[in-house]
Amino acid sequence: MKLYDLPPSPNARRVRIFIAEKGLDIPLHPVDMMAGENKSPEYLAKNPLGKMPLLELDDGRCIAESAAICRYLEELHPDPPLMGRDAIDRALVEMWHRRMELELLNPMISVFVHTAEMWQGRVVQIPQLAEVSREQVQARMAWLDEELKGREYIAGDSYTVADIAAQCAFVMGKAAVGIRIPEDMSGLSQWWSRVTSRPTARA
């Protein structure tokens, strides 16, 4: 097994933290996107969309999409559970995981992609979309802050893949788009201290 990685990508980080939380040792192969390695025929044969992360199995089959990679690893290594403990719990973790991805991480990525110099010429940058996405992130932070006043982690009492997705959104916010959790959002701030003090946070 081998993980095609893109070190600064929040999606690749989701999988790296997941692997670290499981205590697994999976070799990483960093892909040089700036040099176009992800558009090479060899890589496109593995993932026709040219995206990272990508998990290659020993038989050559490849799993793309962060959530699909996590699900596979969860099935092979169920402990500690990071995607729920029973049917209803798994559904609620998936609900929160998707909310964190669709409502928080993806808009955060959108702010970056539609403003950053490194994306000029790689995508059609739409500054208005960056603005709307920034406002969405602010609104979702306020919502999450309230939610997190009542519990320790995004999906309940345990740390899960939903926390990982949210964490990676805020790592990107801080490093790349100047969005930080305001100190007066106590629910969100305390959650942030909790998750970033885990030994896996810098994976």
Q: What are the residues binding a second copy (CB under 8 A)?
A: 48-49, 57, 61, 63-65, 67-69, 71-72, 75-76, 87-88, 90-92, 94-95, 98-99, 103, 124, 126, 128-129, 132, 143, 147
Least distance CB 49 / a second copy (angstroms) = 7
Least distance CB 166 / a second copy (angstroms) = 15
Of 95 and 175, which CB lies nearer to a second copy in the complex structure?
A: 95
Neighbours of 73 (CB within 10 A): 22
Of 86 and 183, which CB lies nearer to a second copy in the complex structure?
A: 86
Tell how far CA 137 is from the center of its chain: 15
Least distance CB 17 / a second copy (angstroms) = 18
Residue 193 Cα distances to 26, 132, 164, angstroms: 27, 28, 13
Distance in angstroms (rounded) separating the CA atoms of residues 98 and 101 = 5
Of 37 and 65, which CB lies nearer to a second copy in the complex structure?
A: 65
Walk across the sheet containing 28-30 and list its strands. Answer: 28-30, 2-5, 54-56, 62-64
